[in-house]
A and B are shown apart, each in its own frame.
Chain A
Amino acid sequence: NAGVTQTPKFQVLKTGQSMTLQCAQDMNHEYMSWYRQDPGMGLRLIHYSVGAGITDQGEVPNGYNVSRSTTEDFPLRLLSAAPSQTSVYFCASSYSKENRKLFFGSGTQLSVL
């Protein structure tokens, strides 16, 4: 049982490049979400999904897209990377939106030059 798996662990991009951060969970969780962690800012919600085919915006959605075609996968797409998107990204999941205990992946450290 792998839990929540994020890839890659590290990534360096140039401004304007696009990329996809992958997130997969094998716990059959309905709820999945993406957070970014910045110094002094804590964890801020980017996007979330309460089930396959359903996504919604969090606190800081601009510059990011998500989709949820399967229960297991919830990729985060950076459309045109900017230095302000340099951050550590965490994917998290829970059994449902009502069950609030989140399981987190180990994170992706992204640098945009």
Chain B
Amino acid sequence: AQSVTQLGSHVSVSEGALVLLRCNYSSSVPPYLFWYVQYPNQGLQLLLKYTTGATLVKGINGFEAEFKKSETSFHLTKPSAHMSDAAEYFCAVSDGEGRRALTFGSGTRLQVQP
């Protein structure tokens, strides 16, 4: 069984400040890890994913995440927040076999203050 914990249901940052959204996972097999973003009244779109290889993964819109196996973490960061980053962010884990669906965290709503 897999699970995802996102620490902080709401995060507020100032425009230009560092964005850090936390995600910890549990998985009995090497995980595939994902971050999705959801803008108001829209579906989810993929920000970035980790499957194998390099543990620092770069995604769209300047976001990146680092897979740390020893900490079972996959935190999402962006050096400088923009107003357009305000959205809800979901971390997800898969067993990588392609037969099962993703297990999602409960989400973190990011607010960006001017």
Q: Are the chains A and B members of one assembly?
A: no
Chain A residues close to B by CB (< 8 Å)? none
Chain B residues close to A by CB (< 8 Å)? none
